[in-house]
A and B are shown apart, each in its own frame.
Chain A
């Protein structure tokens, strides 16, 4: 059974860097049948997919256009986890951040496992 455990600070000041980690158990970040995603949720933007990392003979990353200039998602194979960095945050980045697994080994695409969520507040 796959479990995702998130960690990271919940309060930031504007212009700081948001850093969250998602530890994986029951699967491998290097699996070639899973993609590892970050999704956020806020009242104003709803559920918003931010980006993903996955391994298929080499590492790939995809990012949402809305955050592409500020985001980095990195795998850490030594710790079996992946991370989110979002630079230059503003109050608009205030949201609950989730990590989530997408099965890419079959014919369907959906998020079958989610982290517990981290409320990140950006305020001076």
Chain B
């Protein structure tokens, strides 16, 4: 079973600052099979990044993803007020078919 560990658990930043979120896998993950999601209270997760580095439709270019193997990163270049939310990474493959990280809460300082 592939376990995804996200860090930090909570990240406190101000609008305009850069956010760097980490996702580490217990085993190597195919880059094509790593995605990032944003979730706001009362809403379903929203796809941000797929294939480790491709932005989903309508996602602003301040969001970028990178990484390979066991270490992946989501960067938000300059935080907007609407970016404060919880972020999850997700991998596909093996058993279980897919799994999610425990999330990073991005909060406004």
A interface residue numbers (CB < 8 A to B): 46-49, 52, 62, 64-65, 98, 100, 102, 107-112, 114-117
Quick check: B103 and A111 within 8 Å, CB to CB?
no
Tally chain B residues at the interface, Cβ within 8 Å. Answer: 26
Bound-complex Cα distance A106 to B93 (A): 15
Quick check: B97 and A47 within 8 Å, CB to CB?
no
Quick check: B88 and A108 within 8 Å, CB to CB?
no
- List residues of chain A with CB within 8 A of the CB of B102: 46
- List residues of chain B with CB within 8 A of the CB of A109: 32-33, 35, 92-93, 98
Of all chain B residues, the one with the shortest Cβ separation from A103 is B50
- List residues of chain A with CB within 8 A of the CB of B97: 49, 52, 62, 64
Quick check: A110 and B95 within 8 Å, CB to CB?
no
Quick check: B47 and A116 within 8 Å, CB to CB?
no
Interface of A is mostly: strand
Query: Can you list 14 A-B contacts with CB-CB less than 8 angstroms, sorted by A residue number?
Result: A46-B101, A47-B88, A49-B96, A49-B97, A52-B97, A62-B97, A65-B96, A98-B44, A107-B32, A108-B32, A108-B51, A109-B32, A110-B50, A114-B46
Bound-complex Cα distance A52 to B92 (A): 13
Bound-complex Cα distance A14 to B44 (A): 26
Chain B 94-109 against A: per-residue CB contact (8 Å), 1 yes, 0 no?
0111111111000000
Of all chain B residues, the one with the shortest Cβ separation from A113 is B47
List CB contacts (< 8 Å) of B35-60 with chain A. 35, 37, 43-47, 50-51, 54, 56
Of all chain A residues, the one with the shortest Cβ separation from B51 is A108
- List residues of chain B with CB within 8 A of the CB of A102: 92
Report if B90 contacts A (CB, 8 A): yes
